[in-house]
């Protein structure tokens, strides 16, 4: 029994330490974005880099832990928006806005999770995304797939799409996540319009606006 209690205490202490290290990594990412280095994260946590590796295995392990931390929080917020007591169009807009508000509030975290370090990094040790060949782009794809699968499941649970509804919901889930990611990425970089305008426009597309709209006369070619 004492051995079991001792193992449980060790496990609890290890989990608490892991959370502390992730919080330290978050602080560095908020400051440095994609150029957050393992050295900077270790320094922020008050440890050496080998100890950081001991907790996460490698750079990919730390990235995946941070991605899960932020994806879990985002999915929880998206589910809350989808379950809000409002009519469906309002919930669609609230869900889109929740995603965009999250990347707007923490753009450095978003860039760290979704983009490799930019060309300003001058050494292999300068950024987590380029240290020893670590490729953030390769690791961000599973994150987007997880969001797509989770959103598809939410749609299955909340919308009656008929006999083949489960497959359609998965298609919609991945399609909506792809749309939000691409549109949000463009918007965050250029800010061509307000967040509210982007939300309304994307909701129009999801709501069937494209199917309802007429074609424009285009010289030399057919309408869309």
In a domain, 27, yes or no: no
Task: Give the residue numbers spanning the domain of 120.
Answer: 59-210
Long-range Cβ contacts of 126-129 (<8 Å, 24+ apart): 126/35, 126/37, 127/34, 127/35, 127/36, 127/37, 128/34, 128/35, 128/36, 128/37, 128/38, 128/41, 128/59, 128/62, 128/63, 129/34, 129/35
For residue range 99-146, list pLDDT tens digits in order: 999 999 999 999 888 885 543 343 333 444 445 445 555 667 888 998
In a domain, 147, yes or no: yes
**Count of domains in the chain?**
1
In a domain, 218, yes or no: no
In a domain, 146, yes or no: yes
Instruction: Output the domain CATH number for residue 66.
Output: 1.10.357.10
For residue range 176-201, list pLDDT tens digits in order: 999 999 999 999 999 999 999 999 99
Its pTM stands at 0.78
């Amino acid at each position: 029994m004492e051995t079991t209690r001792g193992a449980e205490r060790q496990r609890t202490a290890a989990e608490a330490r892991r959370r502390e290290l992730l919080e330290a990594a978050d602080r560095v990412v908020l400051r440095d974005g994609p150029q957050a280095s393992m050295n900077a994260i270790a320094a922020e946590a008050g440890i050496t880099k080998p100890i950081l590796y001991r907790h996460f295995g490698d750079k990919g392990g730390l990235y995946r832990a941070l991605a899960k931390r932020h994806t879990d929080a985002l999915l929880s917020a998206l589910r809350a928006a989808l379950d809000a007591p409002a009519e469906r169009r309002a919930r669609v807009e609230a869900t889109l806005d929740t995603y965009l508000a999250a990347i707007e509030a923490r753009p450095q975290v978003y860039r760290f999770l979704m983009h490799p370090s930019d060309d300003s990094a001058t050494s292999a040790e300068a950024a987590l995304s380029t240290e020893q060949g670590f490729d953030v782009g390769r690791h961000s794809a599973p994150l987007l797939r997880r969001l797509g699968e989770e959103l598809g499941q939410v749609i299955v649970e909340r919308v009656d799409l008929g006999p083949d509804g489960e497959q359609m919901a998965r298609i919609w889930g991945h399609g909506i996540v792809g749309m939000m990611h691409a549109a949000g990425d463009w918007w965050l970089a250029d800010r061509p319009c307000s967040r509210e305008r982007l939300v309304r426009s994307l909701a129009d597309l999801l709501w069937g606006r494209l199917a309802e709209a007429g074609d424009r006369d285009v010289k030399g070619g057919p309408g869309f």
